[in-house]
Structure 1
């Protein structure tokens, strides 16, 4: 018997443009993103909100790419960074990634950065933006 892995249920028609059905029909598609069920998404968002350091954030970025194929980039924005809104969080376009998930991931990371501003300072320092401070 082949064990089945639960996959994400489809979004209501017209509510999302994730392309889940087209992804399932394609024979050569990377289906890893569909393993992110709503329950697993809740756990992931909780884990992202609980990051404790820049190394932890980078580890989560690597794990997201390895396990789900999500490329997440967190970096200072092109303009002056005065608040957490000045930090750019970009998720690369990925077929099968739900629109709500695409919005929820950056929100969870921003909440983590607001709760632990030292992570944001480490991020800025890693980009050499605080060299004169």
Structure 2
């Protein structure tokens, strides 16, 4: 079952990450941003917008499948790993810079996911509400 979770979350992060990268590529293709029909047509003419939509559908199906089996706490936390992966890929693909706050935030996201995963594998029942 752990292999299922590992592969499932990896697929989910890939879908979510690629969707965000595709939206960035769409935005770059549709420049300059304007509130008019010409801009909408430029967006619709970009193949990247359709890749992003396909990735969102893939992420939805993957997420629904994972929720049938995975504990909700770690599942919800792990679904936010794309924040870190998009940030790293933005440096590589778009020459964006990452500052100290972004690195700290990424470390906190990863630490939170690890803590939730460890708490789920301990086997201890959750504390009773007061």
Give yes or no for TM over 0.5: no
| TM-score w.r.t. length of structure 2 | 0.31
Task: Name the structure where helix makes up a greater proportion of residues.
Answer: 2
| TM-score w.r.t. length of structure 1 | 0.30
